[in-house]
Amino acid sequence: MFMNIYAGWCIALSLSPCLFAQTAPSAKSDNARTPQTTFKAGSEEVVLDVIVRDKKGQPVKDLKPDDLEVYDNGAKRPITSFRLIEGAAAIVGGQQTPGAQPQHLDPLRQVRLITLLFAHLGDVNSRRLSRTAAFDLLKTDLPQNVYMSVLVLDQSIEALQAFTNDRDRLRRAVEKATGGSYSQFHAESEQVQAQLQQMLGPATAGESPQEQIINLQPGAGTGPAAATAAQGSATVQMAQMMLNMLQLAQTSEMAQSGRVFVYGLLDAIRQQYMLPGRKSVFLFTEGFAVPQGAEEAFRTVISTANRFNVSFYSIDARGLNSTNLNDASLTELRNAAAASRAQFGHNSGPVNPQKAKEFDTAIDAGKANTQNTLAELAGSTGGFLIANTNDFRGPLQRAVDDIETYYEITYNPGIQKYDGSFRTVQIKSERPSLRIQSRAGYFALPNAATQGGAVLAPYELPLLKALSVKPPPRDFDFRAAGLHFRSAKESTCSVIIDLPFSSILFQPSEPVDPPKEKNKSESRLKADFAYVVLIKDSNGEIVRNFRGDVPLQPAASQMDALRMSHFVLKENFGLPPGRYTLETAMLDRGADKTSVRRSVLIMPPIASPLGISSVSIVRDVREKQETTDPGDPFLMGTNVITPTLASLDKNSLAQGLSFYLVIYTDKANQGKPQLTMEFKRDGQPVGAGSPPLGEPDEQGRVQYLGTAASDNLQPGNYEVRFIARQGNEAAAESVTFTLE
């Protein structure tokens, strides 16, 4: 790859983002057909699985509704239904009439699903222990209607075995999951996906897969064919769940490094809404940390699991561990403190732009004891942690007992306002000998917001509502834009969000008692902002969306630099040629303020072999990290370019003005590619230039980074037209900006 630097322009340039004009709302984008969702308060019931044991750990099976009390957000709520689910019978009201036939389980209502999920098992001993534990689980006497699947999680979810009760197939899948490199699992997952599609059978009337499933539901028809369909409906539903999960995983929001685990867990459970009944995930892992900025996503995993009736059983595959699990967090704190001292210990005078850029957000930090994360995940979803042992047989048998025997309780939470807040759930009893195990709570989200398995984070509610308001709110400043590139196989879009930290409210993270008693340099501030991005096609249909939540807690001594810096997000993904609308909403949670931006996003057709990407204005160039995506269009050799959409002034251009673009050459054309730049200020030509270009790389790309001197820049509105030529072919792209 070649980096071309062309300095010392003979004309004055200024660079405010090329997409400055595009971020203004247009009548066309505002009138695009936008799906509307209405959230109504109502009497939606909460379903709980409650496991009750005595002091000796034995299941208690003789409870009546009056023996348990349900508290939702601290308020006692009346129980609307109560029954014991045990083995082959569902015993209504906790009692069974003597001599009566037991009520057999409805295969669609009481199917039991167990997912064996092997995640990030790098250590050989961890894989051995996990394999032994899984094989022991397969030897147990599993209750009726139990189906198991095998998944692995590395960079994404991969399926090695769809839901089945064939133990030989499950053993082979476990062997693969604990014996091979995770990079080998993608082919296995594709094979599973093809098998699942075949299970749906031929679409004789041209039905979609979902229509096929609807036709197989009980009540969809009559006669012998309908009866056969009802018997197989649970199997088809499980196949469709797995198929949907894999398809979602392929487009999952896992672009930000450090969040792969959290979003992988979400992918593993988000399709399990399709079948009722108790569902369990046996998570074999060496532990994981929730990175800063992913806390809300982790809570969403817990809330989604609770909503879809999924319990996690976390198995710490490290086995017996004599190491202090807090050592890593203590080391991290020491390293952070040392870095802070190095950056701020010798500061004097005002903060310059280069220092400010050091704070541009690559906000990521590890958490503390990773075993605590496993315990929180399990305990909050009605499961438990299995750790600090090399013999998992006893705890796994207890988990199997949980699956076989539990109480199903429903109640009306009495929610008047679905505000996305977290509501705690407690189950109490006046019998002190009982040991009660259930879910910790859920987010107050209406069922309408999660229909079809949609996973909606609580902070999305105000953001989605803001996108439907006219005129859109503009409480604070930020920019968003979509840039187009090419990859080896498709058109690639890069969505950029540029938020000045000066737009966000920072508040004291804790009350500061008389200032004299607290060292100002040690006090901390806090801020929290969230975003939602929707990309809609020309018909107004959402074709891509992503979201995030970013909490901050900087030291007060860092604020001068932080206020001059920016949060810059890049999200890269494939997007076919066409005209799209980019809708972005941001929420300053501390100030309770919202801003919305809409712009038109054009993905040009690949009409000729010669092409040129969008032109970006460069904020910074940094060395790539281990987590850098090798397909990032802003990756140049060992460096990664950070674009900017923010307005620029003289101080911000002290190091010059830089442009970045990519020329895609025609490999069949023997001509040498050339680049011409034509500059206009306020509509009048002010100069032109033809910088030299290097040779194309093996992909036929010429990556160009040009820096112009900025000493003589004059205020005004600028347009720069970039024209790439190769032989008789030509391609052009323009960028506009304003210098104030």
User: Rounded to 5 degrees, what are φ and ψ at 633?
Assistant: -65, -15
Q: Span 548-559, mean pLDDT?
A: 85
Q: What is the pLDDT of residue 242?
A: 65
The pLDDT tens digits for 400-454 are 888 888 898 999 998 887 777 778 899 999 988 899 999 888 878 776 666 655 6
If one compares 364 and 447, the residue with the highest pLDDT of the two is 447
Whether residue 630 has a cis bond before it, omega within 30° of 0? no
- Report the alpha-carbon angle 635-636-642, nearest 5: 55
In one-letter notation, the amino acid at residue 171 is R
Query: Whole-angstrom Cα distance, residue 575 to residue 580?
Result: 10
Helix boundaries (H) for 6-58: 27-30
Helix (H), strand (E) at residue 201: none
Length of the chain: 740
How far does Cα 249 stand from its chain's mean position? 10
pLDDT at 204 over 50: yes
Reading the block at residue 307, the tokens are 């909503």
Architecture of domain 22-36+468-605: Sandwich (2.60)
Q: What is the pLDDT of residue 250?
A: 43
> Superfamily for 1-18+615-740?
Macroglobulin (MG2) domain (2.60.40.1930)
Q: What is the pLDDT of residue 199?
A: 65
Query: Strand 310-316 to strand 385-386: parallel, antiparallel, or no bridges (unpaired)?
Result: parallel
The pLDDT tens digits for 673-722 are 999 999 888 888 988 889 889 899 988 999 999 887 777 778 888 888 99
CA distances from 167 to 100, 521, 638 (A): 34, 61, 48
1-18+615-740 matches 22-36+468-605 in fold:
yes
Angle between helices 223-250 and 260-269 (to 10 degrees): 170
- pTM reported for the whole predicted model: 0.57
SS3 721: strand
Q: What is the pLDDT of residue 206?
A: 55
DSSP 124-172: HHHHHHHHHHHHHHHHS---TTEEEEEEEESSSEEEEEEEE--HHHHHH
SS3 221: coil
User: Rounded to 5 degrees, what are φ and ψ at 634?
Assistant: -95, 10
The pLDDT tens digits for 481-500 are 999 999 877 899 999 999 99
Which range (10-24, 290-304, 502-516, 580-594) has the least confidence?
A: 10-24
Q: What is the pLDDT of residue 289?
A: 76
Number of other residues whose CB lies within 10 A of the CB of residue 433: 10
Q: Span 373-379, mean pLDDT?
A: 91
If one compares 545 and 221, the residue with the highest pLDDT of the two is 545
In one-letter notation, the amino acid at residue 683 is G
pLDDT at 618 over 60: yes
pLDDT at 333 over 60: no
The domain locations on the chain are 1-18+615-740, 22-36+468-605, 112-202+209-328+362-453
pLDDT at 258 over 70: no
Q: What is the pLDDT of residue 624?
A: 87
Q: What is the pLDDT of residue 594?
A: 95
112-202+209-328+362-453 classified as CATH 3.30.465.10? no
Query: Whole-angstrom Cα distance, residue 719 to residue 647?
Result: 14
Q: What is the pLDDT of residue 18?
A: 28
If one compares 465 and 649, the residue with the highest pLDDT of the two is 465
Helix (H), strand (E) at residue 380: helix 370-380
